[in-house]
Amino acid sequence: MTPSNYSKTQIALHWIIALLVLFQIVMHDEIARLWSGRMDGTLPNAATPNAHVAVGFLILALAAWRIVLRFKRGVPALPASEHPALKMLASGTHLLFYVLLIGMPLSGATAWILGVESAAQVHAIAEKLLIALIALHALAALAQHFWFKTDVLKRMLGRA
Ligand code: HEM
Ligand code: HEM
């Protein structure tokens, strides 16, 4: 199914998840401190509850909801005028976002709950990839609006 726009729920989920992800990236000092304390033995090796973990699980639940909606309702097509290579880049970026939105909470949980150090390394590498993708994605959204003059940004703001 190919609807002509995003639903209100899809739009709300996009921006709420984006804000929560930015929160996770900017406010990571506490979890990094707790984790290194657990690893060097200065803190008990226990999966204590904290904001990073709670927000991370919230992102997992919202991302799962979003993926279900994507299958059930569908998403609008990329602009017909867009070069096939750019279309592939956009679809690849979106797919990788979904992989990271599910993979980051799972690798984080494996590190935090089961104490697996290699999962924490995967989590930290995924973070770098996520930051690069966000930069690319935000630039592409602005380029669509100001350079290519499509309605791609407007439709994610509910104004198309
Ligand atoms: C999409 C959701 C998540 C994002 C974007 C995210 C992001 C981050 C970031 C940016 C760091 C700092 C990494 C660094 O020091 O370079 C971090 C560390 C960490 N996060 Fe998450 N996180 C998410 C979900 C979770 C969840 C659900 C858990 C646990 C249940 C978790 C557990 C950890 C742990 C244990 C660390 C410290 C280990 C490390 O530095 O790699 N994270 N996370
Ligand atoms: C952590 C931050 C972000 C994440 C994880 C994220 C994730 C995503 C994903 C997965 C999609 C694909 C939706 C789908 O068709 O299934 C999407 C679409 C979109 N995003 Fe983001 N996004 C983020 C931040 C931003 C920002 C900052 C902007 C604007 C500057 C933006 C603008 C857009 C637009 C315009 C679309 C629609 C693309 C289209 O209709 O083809 N996003 N985003």
Q: Could you read off the pLDDT of 34-63 as tens digits, one per residue?
A: 999 999 999 999 999 999 999 999 999 999
Average pLDDT over residues 62-84: 96
pTM value surpassing 0.85: yes
Whether 85 is in a domain gets the answer yes
Q: How far apart are CA 147 and CA 22, in angstroms?
A: 26
Q: Which atom of ligand 2 is nearest to the CA of 21?
A: 1
Whether 125 is in a domain gets the answer yes
Average pLDDT over residues 127-131: 98
Burial 96-121 (b: 16+ CB within 10 A, else e): bbeebbebbbebbbbbbeeeeeebbe
Checking if the pLDDT of 160 tops 90, the result is: no
Whether 3 is in a domain gets the answer no
Whether 52 is in a domain gets the answer yes
Domain that holds residue 147: 8-156
> Which range, of 1-5, 24-28, 100-104, averages the lowest pLDDT?
1-5
Whether 1 is in a domain gets the answer no
Whether 98 is in a domain gets the answer yes
Whether 87 is in a domain gets the answer yes
Confidence band, pLDDT 50/70/90 cuts, at residue 11: very high
Average pLDDT over the chain, rounded to an integer: 96
Q: How many domains does the chain have?
A: 1
Determine the distance separating the centroid of ligand 2 and the alpha carbon of 31, expressed in angstroms.
26
Q: Which atom of ligand 2 is nearest to the CA of 145?
A: 35
